[in-house]
Chain A
Amino acid sequence: MHRELIPTLEEKARNLRVSIIKTLHRSQSGHTGGSLSAIDLITALYFHTLRHRPEEPAWEGRDRFVLCKGHAAPAQYVALAESGYFPKEDLMMLRRLGSHLQGHPDSKQTPGVEVCTGSLGQGLSQACGIALGLRLDGGDHRVYALLGDGELQEGQVWEAAMSAAHFRLDTLCAIVDANGLQIDGEVAKVMGVESIADKFHAFGWHVTEIDGHDMGAILAAYAHAATVKGKPTVIVARTVKGKGVSFFENKASYHGVTPSDEELPRALHSLGCLEKL
């Protein structure tokens, strides 16, 4: 692993948090908490782990990323824009009529988005299908699927988990952004999903559990997943909803709420962003 990359990626993640906040403040619609909890995991993928060519989104040799928790689309969009898939100015059109940046990921409209997600529980199945298809062609592409922990309440996730192990999809790496909160409150109180690790283990997966904001741990987990043979890997990433903006952290109320005019400077300050607006 390239330890020297860690500070660079941490700085990249911080900048993308700033971008998420600005984008969501502009759109005044979208999901703040789950975008901030997932951004370190997404940053590590787009700026280190994924083989991809932003200038050639359909490049056949690319690894695939599926954002199963499609409501974190702002986190994917800022990473795609930063990578160069489309101009950063487009972010200001998030969720607007006519924009290619839909409320939830849309493969027909956004360069770099592989499949349509947003209805929870379907992404891991699609990722399995992609992995099966690429395997038929003899490729060594890897497929990453990022789920929410609330999403694990969808039964279809476990159908997919069963089939991924059955088909020995070792090119598949699922990542659970386990921030512990969902719209109505704590996951544990709404409908408990723990032990996530034990459940995936029982379904025949290789399981790793990490701090989902520790860039070194994230890179190590992705690197390790690529070495696992004969079974899919799940990385259970313990995260903080709203991570990075002190007054958003661990608040279910910021699941689908965007920063107000009053909150914007405080949020940016909290992220260490001192630029003038």
Chain B
Amino acid sequence: MIQMAATRDAYGTTLLELGDENPAVVVLDADLSGSTKTGLFAKKFPERFFNMGIAEANMVCTAAGLAAAGKIPFVSTFAIFAAGRAWEQIRQSVAYPKANVKIVPTHGGITVGEDGASHQSVEDIAIMRAIPNMTVIVPADAVETAAAVRAVASFKGPVYLRLGRNKVPTLFDNSYRFRIGKGKVMADGCDLTFVTTGLMTAQALIASEVLKKEGISARVLHLATIKPLDGDLLLDAALETGAIVTGEEHSIIGGLGGAVAEFLSEHAPTPLVRVGVNDRFGTSGKAEELLKYFGLTHEGLEDAARRVLERKGAR
């Protein structure tokens, strides 16, 4: 039986634990504390929770001020309103001074669902990754999220930790050791590598099983940290399997696919297919429908694998 859990729920419960353990942890939200699950922290630690109202720019800079006063602020809202609305505030007040602020948006990507394009973020990884001093993390499941929230609380400096709305399969068990900047090979293989992040890693594991029946051996490299990129594991994948398919719940421009393309073209040119949202905005629909609609499924990854193998063979 596959366990299902939402990364935002793991965030909410882990924040509660951190609140007990570390009095420096404070939390800010912009009128979405029920959705982002920071409401749990708000209830238990009301004096350390600041509902900033629908004013994300002020929220981000207030967090920077709290960090300047020695606090460890976690800042939450939907991804588009954190990364998008407050981009320059994050750049100037958080990243430039290396403020110890953790931007932890929930509702990344298209699985926001019915709210549609205005609330779906398909560009946030790209625009956060472009900022110097910024660390960008997209966990695959609830277990990794809990570990990542703890890791970023201990890490000194700005972090963008992108979470999702919906329940996703739990891939890791409690023995999993999350380390910022380190990827994890989830399945071995020698014909190609799926390099995936967030909820696409679960799809890559299914795709790897399906392809096995066709005699194709697909490695699955999960990169929760998109910046800094784990160049060692990526280079191994390129040199040992000779073909790469990236997968992410994000635009194919500038996110994981973009980061991998940049790395490979400089260090180990390798046939590459990027699976993601193909330079389009999101749209309304149920999360599962939208993933199918945009091809963010194991079938989408399998198609991409066959295409990349054709190119690999043609070399």
Contacts and interface: CB of A to CB of B under 8 A. Distances in A.
**Do A and B truly interact?**
yes
Nearest to A133: B69
A125 interface: yes
B284 to A, nearest CB: 29
A126 B50 CA distance: 14
B67 interface: yes
A125 B61 contact: yes
A68 to B, nearest CB: 10
Nearest to A161: B58
Contact of B97 (A64, A107, A137): A107
Chain B interface mostly: helix
A122 B61 contact: yes
Contacts of B96: 106, 116
A123 B65 CA distance: 9
Contacts of A115: 64-65, 68, 93, 97, 99
Interface in A148-204: 155-156, 159-160, 162-163, 166-167
A126 B64 contact: yes
B92 interface: yes
Interface residues of A, number: 33
Interface in A44-81: 64
B68 A128 contact: no
Interface string A191-234: 00000000000000000000000000000000000000000000
A163 B64 contact: no
Contacts, number: 107
B53 to A, nearest CB: 7
A127 B66 CA distance: 9
Nearest to B73: A129
Given A159-B57, A162-B53, A162-B55, A127 B65 contact: yes
27 contacts: A64-B68, A115-B65, A115-B68, A115-B99, A116-B93, A116-B97, A122-B57, A122-B92, A125-B57, A125-B58, A125-B62, A125-B89, A126-B65, A128-B62, A132-B50, A132-B65, A132-B66, A132-B69, A133-B65, A136-B69, A137-B70, A156-B55, A156-B61, A156-B89, A162-B53, A163-B62, A166-B53
